[in-house]
Amino acid sequence: MDLNDRMEFDCVIEVLADGTVVDRHDVWEPELHDGEVEGGWRLLNGFSGQDGYSGPIMHQSEFIGGWMERHILANPGIYVALVDYPLDDSEPDGWAVAEKEE
């Protein structure tokens, strides 16, 4: 199973030092609204393939693969994929990966 399949939205995972990926049901997932994630987490930045954009919010057509997947697997820590919900209750049009701060 590749990392994109493993990291369903709101399912927290941990990458161990040996590259093993485990589910972390004991860690709550933060909320993401208008590109802002709740405290204690930071958004991964610079992995979007959108033309002229290098921020943390990924387009719906993007996935966790390539450079982003390699980065996550090479950097032990706790991660979660999140839908970016607009505060105005409109439909979400993006998502991001957050890493738990130490």
Domain boundaries, the chain: 3-100
Please give the model's pTM, rounded to 2 decimal places.
Answer: 0.94
Q: Is residue 1 scored above 80 in pLDDT?
A: no
d(CA 83, CA 78): 17
Give per-residue pLDDT as tens, 34-73. 999 998 999 999 999 888 888 999 999 999 999 999 999 9
Take residue 76 and report the two structure tokens written for it.
Answer: 């032990």
d(CA 47, CA 91): 23
**What is residue 51's predicted lDDT score, i.e. its pLDDT?**
86
**What is residue 78's predicted lDDT score, i.e. its pLDDT?**
98
